[in-house]
Amino acid sequence: MSVLARVFEEAGLTTVAFALVREHAERVQPPRALWVPFYFGYTMGKPDDPDFQHQVLAAALATLDAEAGPVLADYPEDAGPIGLPQASEVSASTNGDTVKPLDAADEITALRGYYERWQEQRGRTAVGVTGIPQRRFRGIIRFLEAYAERDDADMDERPADVSVPQFVRYCADDLKAFCYEARMAQRPNDTEADIHTWFWGETAVGSLIDSITQRLNSTGDAKLQATAYGLSR
């Protein structure tokens, strides 16, 4: 991010960058940056809060007043979560005691009503990286179940220029978005940490993704392990 700011400024454009890691901005030195003390994924501080987001933007635009740089200003107010549980932390805390649905495909079907409600309420969905309609997600589940067992599993819908491991990642991203959005419609007052804990600790889909991570990590193949790192950890 800060590197692009330097490239653009060198080309004659005026830039204002947001920095999530202050220490990185100190090293890269973008011309003008506002460090925001928010967790990764929360650059503007609070989702669904236009007023707060405008305050953050105004603080960033204030760096334009400087006559010389680099300028690295600090946003003064904290907001949002400061960290979230990963899959391994959730399974360690539940010790595998949680009862989960037996079949991830049935779980998807059971969540569909909530997912569709979310989509209706919000007018958008983050599902869509695979290009496979959500009503055919049972097929994705069957593919991932096979991939959790063996390398040669594949799916007809995979584009020719996308490798199987990369397509597995797209499938996992779509399933996560589907489940998270369904859960946010089902339990609107849950915190982000509640939703992560539910997904990794209580769902069959979370367990399925984690089982693929474990298989890929055990192969010793660096490329597959890189895929695993993007599924769960």
Partner 1 sequence: MPRLSVLSEVQRQMLQFFPCMEADGAPWSPLSKPLNQATAAIVTTAGLHLRDDKPFNRDHPGGESTYRVIPSDSDAANIVQSHFSIGFDRTAIYRDINITFPMDRVRELAERGVIGSVAPNHYSFMGALRDCTVVAEQTGPEVAQRLKAEGVDLVLLTPT
According to the binding rule CB under 8 A, does residue 208 interact with partner 1? Answer: no
CB of 149 to partner 1, least distance (A): 23
Q: Which is nearer to partner 1, 8 or 103 (CB)?
A: 8
Q: Which is nearer to partner 1, 146 or 162 (CB)?
A: 162
Burial 103-142 (b: 16+ CB within 10 A, else e): ebbebbeebeebbbebbeeeeebebeebebebeebeebbe
Closest CA to 212 of 156, 161, 163, 153: 153
Q: Which of residues 75-94 bind partner 1 (CB under 8 A)?
A: 78, 80-84
- Of 66-74, 92-100, 101-109, 200-208, the segment contacting partner 1 by CB under 8 A is 66-74
Alpha-carbon distance of 100 to 224, in angstroms, equals: 27
CB of 12 to partner 1, least distance (A): 5
What is 166-189 written as a DSSP string? Answer: HHHHHHHHHHHHHHHHHHHHH-TT
According to the binding rule CB under 8 A, does residue 206 interact with partner 1? Answer: no
CA distances from 232 to 48, 90, 106, 145 (A): 27, 11, 22, 16
Q: Which of residues 33-62 bind partner 1 (CB under 8 A)?
A: 36-48, 50, 53-54, 57, 60-61
Q: Which of residues 94-153 bind partner 1 (CB under 8 A)?
A: 122-129
Q: Which is nearer to partner 1, 68 or 99 (CB)?
A: 68
CB of 88 to partner 1, least distance (A): 11
According to the binding rule CB under 8 A, does residue 30 interact with partner 1? Answer: yes
* Coil vs helix vs strand at 202: helix
Instruction: Please tell me the total number of residues recorded for the chain in this structure.
Output: 233
CB of 216 to partner 1, least distance (A): 14
The C-alpha angle 181, 37, 201, rounded to 5 degrees, equals 35
Among 91, 192, 204, 208, binds partner 1 (CB under 8 A): 192
Q: Which is nearer to partner 1, 137 or 196 (CB)?
A: 196
**Number of other residues whose CB lies within 10 A of the CB of residue 60:** 20
Q: Which of residues 152-191 bind partner 1 (CB under 8 A)?
A: 161-163, 166, 170, 173, 176-177, 180-181, 184
